[in-house]
Structure 1
Amino acid sequence: MKAMVLCAGLGTRLRPLTEAWPKPALPFLGQPLLRYHLAVLKAAGVTAVGINTHHLPETMEAVAREECERARLPLHVVREPVIQGTGGGIRGLRDFLSDGDFIVYNGDILYPVDLRPVVAMHQASGAMATMVLLPMPEGEKYASVEMDAAGRVRRIAGRGPGGEGLMPWHFTGVHVMSPRVFDFMSPQGAEDIFRDVFARAMEAGQGVRGVRVDGYWSDLGTPSRYLATVRDVLAGRVRLEWLGADSPLAGTVRGPGSSWAHPDAHVCGATVEGPAYFGRGVRVADGSFVGASVSLGTGAKVGSGARLQSTAVFEQTEIASGETLTEVLAWGAHRIPAPLTGR
């Protein structure tokens, strides 16, 4: 089975971070976010991966090639000079994907679950597409997927034939598709996979099904959600089994306080409360304080007397002596607010 990871988005809500990295290439607890996607897909039986690129295409392709080589997965890349939307992006990989059912996976989520039962259910149902769903997250305003009691999706974001007794669900960013989906795509131009392609297919009588797969899910598309996901992983709220050796905590050792540290991280002399993560080459000076929900990426340095609480420090970033950071993403000279309440 093949899979596509959607990688063309602009990531405007995460600027200035996305001026350096496309969202799937963003470092997250010492590794590109894409590595976690590939671990889930490989565990589901995927044997080759395709991506679309648009924003920072050279960076995205370089990260994808390195990560796919590491995972021993062949990579197919399509560059979009003009961004094509989710439907147009999938259409761009038609030649790569058309030889059987395939998985499409959003590039900006963390969702470590077993997708093998979803693939089996999709293939047994004969549906054109199977959407992986969860109950709507409390307080969020994502467009809903409306499904009937038989598991048939009847409306998405207000589009589709509708029906009686429909319940709203949240789309996780993962679905399995049959090549029949390409029959309902426009020959060219940007389009949305749900509002355009699936809406046409459902009106034509094609089956789109939904299946609930419980597990931790996060969209890392804003500073607050990124930091909340760091917090949740370090607090043990995320089951990491399906990431295997690609878990962000694999290869670390338990450090001072409640922390995980790369073997060559140096944190002696600092007060560590944690939970915290110290990546490769991190240096934390004596007299500094590291509180809860803190991650320090590769090569980060923390000066004496600095105090960090609920903060993600990105690669090669220096925190000045005496600097105090709370609910912030720190990258270079940038200090990006990431409030964890009222988000």
Structure 2
Amino acid sequence: MKAFILAAGRGERMRPLTDHTPKPLLQAGGKPLIVWHLERLAAAGFREIVINHAHLGEQIEAALGDGSAWGLSIRYSPEPPGALETAGGIANALPLLGDAPFLVVNGDIYCDWDFTRASQLINRPAHLLMVANPAHHSGGDFALDGERVVFAQGEQTLTYAGIAVFSPAFFADVPRGTVMKLRPLLDAAIAAGTLSGERHAGRWVDVGTPQRLAELDKELRNA
């Protein structure tokens, strides 16, 4: 099973830190955010990783190379300036991801979910990891009815964690090179009753601002 790490975002909320450093290379606990993912993916048995990039993408390739430092094989999916958004970026990378279901991980989060579970989810068209709503996103994204993801209702909402398992067919109608967000595809799958998900009760951080990065850095260094 391959993993795809989303690393093409500009990181506007992280400025000025991201003016000269791509967000996945910002450090917390003594190592870049994306390296935490690589180490945990390698420990979970993943060997083939695809990473997209746009803003300062050459720095990502220079820092990570071919992935051999972690026992991985990394391939890159460059995108044009401004990037292609999540669905567009995944669709653009499908030739590198192949015909089997794959794991997708946002490059700007920290999460202790067990990546070995991904291999148990390959029979789902799409399966989302959900977490309790953080203070900065109190309204949440969706809700869960058992393992079925449904539209948000009342106070029983959860936030999409930026980790999912997808079948390549989920992106079959997105032409390569198209700029497209993920939400319309997820909404269509919810309407069709085909989107599944689960709640993760462990550690998760959306490292979206300098303050949250500093807080995570302090937490990891004191762990």
**How does the TM-score come out when normalised to structure 2?**
0.89
**C-alpha distance in structure 1 between counterparts of 2:199 and 2:41, whole Å:** 17
1:233 shift after superposition: 2.2
Residue 323 of structure 1 corresponds to: none
- Structure 1 residues 10, 77: closer, same or farther in 2, change over 3 A? same
Query: Does residue 169 of structure 1 match 2:169?
Result: no
**Conserved in 1, the CA contact under 8 Å of 2:23 and 2:108?**
yes
Deviation sequence 1:239-277 (CA, Å, 0-9, x none): xxxxxxxxxxxxxxxxxxxxxxxxxxxxxxxxxxxxxxx
1:185 shift after superposition: 2.4
Map of 1:1-343 to 2, 5 A cutoff? 1-65=1-65, 68-82=67-81, 83-120=83-120, 122-123=121-122, 126-138=123-135, 140-141=137-138, 143-148=140-145, 150-155=146-151, 167-194=156-183, 196-203=184-191, 205=192, 207-236=194-223
Look up the SS of the partner of 2:113 in the other structure.
coil
Letter in 2 for 1:136: N
Deviation sequence 1:299-332 (CA, Å, 0-9, x none): xxxxxxxxxxxxxxxxxxxxxxxxxxxxxxxxxx
**Conserved in 1, the CA contact under 8 Å of 2:6 and 2:104?**
yes
**Conserved in 2, the CA contact under 8 Å of 1:22 and 1:60?**
yes
Letter in 1 for 2:21: W
Look up the SS of the partner of 2:172 in the other structure.
helix
1:225 shift after superposition: 0.5
1:140 shift after superposition: 3.4
Deviation sequence 1:71-96 (CA, Å, 0-9, x none): 12111111111410000010111111
**C-alpha distance in structure 1 between counterparts of 2:140 and 2:175, whole Å:** 23
Deviation sequence 1:21-40 (CA, Å, 0-9, x none): 10111122322221101122
1:210 shift after superposition: 0.8
1:165 shift after superposition: 9.0
- Structure 1 residues 58, 142: closer, same or farther in 2, change over 3 A? farther
**How does the TM-score come out when normalised to structure 1?**
0.60
**Conserved in 1, the CA contact under 8 Å of 2:87 and 2:171?**
no
Letter in 2 for 1:85: E
1:168 shift after superposition: 1.1
**Conserved in 2, the CA contact under 8 Å of 1:144 and 1:169?**
yes
Letter in 1 for 2:125: M
Of Structure 1 and Structure 2, the greater helix share is in 2
Larger radius of gyration: 1
Larger RCO, structure (CA 8 Å, separation 6 or more): 2
**C-alpha distance in structure 2 between counterparts of 1:142 and 1:233, whole Å:** 28
1:114 shift after superposition: 1.2
Q: Which runs of 5+ in 1 are unaligned?
A: 159-163, 237-343
Look up the SS of the partner of 2:157 in the other structure.
strand
Look up the SS of the partner of 1:93 in the other structure.
helix
Where in structure 1 do 4 or more consecutive aligned residues deviate above 6 Å? none
- Structure 1 residues 134, 95: closer, same or farther in 2, change over 3 A? same
- Structure 1 residues 231, 142: closer, same or farther in 2, change over 3 A? farther
- Structure 1 residues 76, 97: closer, same or farther in 2, change over 3 A? same
Letter in 2 for 1:154: V
Percent of paired sites with the same residue: 31
1:112 shift after superposition: 2.4
**C-alpha distance in structure 1 between counterparts of 2:171 and 2:28, whole Å:** 34
- Structure 1 residues 56, 215: closer, same or farther in 2, change over 3 A? same
1:141 shift after superposition: 3.5
**Conserved in 2, the CA contact under 8 Å of 1:2 and 1:49?**
yes
**C-alpha distance in structure 2 between counterparts of 1:139 and 1:80, whole Å:** 29
- Structure 1 residues 15, 180: closer, same or farther in 2, change over 3 A? same
